């Protein structure tokens, strides 16, 4: 049986994710300034009306182990545990959002899977073109958080009656014992690689009347563990940092 080591890190295959983590370091190691907070908000949006309703989309989560050669291998049991722990953390977190929050039924959640996929694609674009290196910024955006999910989210408003939807997406990986051993061996011959992967996450608050993404945050780091309840809650708190207040 493959043993999984608690050591976390990057793989050569996960190099793009490692670069994302590097770009996000300042976001998570220091207290954000007003200017930093504004980068997470769409123009003209600063808070959620207290009378508003937010429904929570099921989090799109996948966990992987990293093989000896650096290939990420899906782990269904880990993903199942992560979904359970993250959902429990969300239930607790809803109490601090300051507004009424709703959940989709399991049936409705399955029907909304395509919208979750759409969110993941748009979130990756925001990470690259809004939070990424300046050379990748889109001139037409003028440095503003100006993205929309369009018409597809209207169906969610009709189904739930909510004003906003909260989307979240997370991918995480962990080094196997074989990967750690391979790292040590390569280090001996002068090839330096890290033994594991990074934890990547995106969260978006979407206005269901317009489809506009009014708040966005990213998570990119080489720490955290969604397989454990307490650490899953810590990941959620990190992902929802900068979340707009209810006023």
| Domain map (residue ranges) of the chain | 15-26+37-239
15-26+37-239 belongs to CATH 1.10.357: no
Cα–Cα distance, 54 to 202 (Å, whole number): 17
Could you tell me the pTM of the whole model?
Answer: 0.78
Per-residue b or e along 122-139, where b marks 16 or more CB atoms closer than 10 Å to that residue's CB: bbeebbbebbbeeeeeee
Residuewise pLDDT in 10s, the chain (247 residues): 444 444 443 333 344 444 444 444 433 333 343 444 689 999 999 999 989 999 999 899 999 987 655 677 899 999 999 999 999 999 889 888 888 888 777 677 676 788 999 999 999 999 999 998 889 999 999 999 999 999 999 888 988 899 999 999 999 888 654 444 444 444 444 444 444 567 999 999 999 999 999 999 999 988 888 999 999 999 999 999 989 999 8
């Amino acid at each position: 049986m493959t043993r999984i080591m608690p050591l976390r890190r990057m793989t050569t295959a996960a190099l793009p994710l490692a670069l994302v983590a590097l770009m996000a370091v300042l976001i998570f190691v220091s207290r954000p300034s007003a200017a930093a907070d504004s980068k997470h908000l769409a123009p003209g949006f600063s808070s959620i009306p207290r009378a508003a309703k937010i429904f929570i989309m099921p989090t799109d989560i996948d966990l992987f182990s990293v093989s000896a050669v650096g290939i990420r291998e899906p782990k269904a049991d880990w993903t199942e545990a992560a979904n359970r722990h993250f959902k429990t953390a969300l239930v607790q977190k809803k109490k601090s959002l300051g507004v009424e929050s709703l959940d989709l039924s399991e049936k409705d959640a399955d029907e909304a899977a395509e919208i979750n996929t759409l969110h993941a694609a748009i979130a990756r674009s925001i990470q690259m073109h809004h939070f990424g290196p300046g050379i990748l910024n889109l001139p037409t955006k003028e440095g503003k958080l100006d993205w929309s999910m369009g018409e597809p989210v209207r169906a969610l408003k009709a189904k739930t009656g909510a004003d906003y939807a909260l989307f979240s997406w997370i991918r995480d990986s962990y080094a196997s014992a074989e990967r750690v051993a391979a790292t040590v061996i390569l280090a001996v011959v002068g090839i330096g690689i890290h033994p594991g992967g990074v934890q990547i996450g995106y969260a978006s608050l979407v206005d269901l009347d317009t489809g506009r993404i009014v708040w966005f945050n990213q998570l990119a780091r080489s720490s955290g563990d969604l397989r454990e309840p307490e650490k899953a809650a810590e990941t959620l708190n990190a992902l929802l940092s900068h979340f707009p207040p209810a006023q």
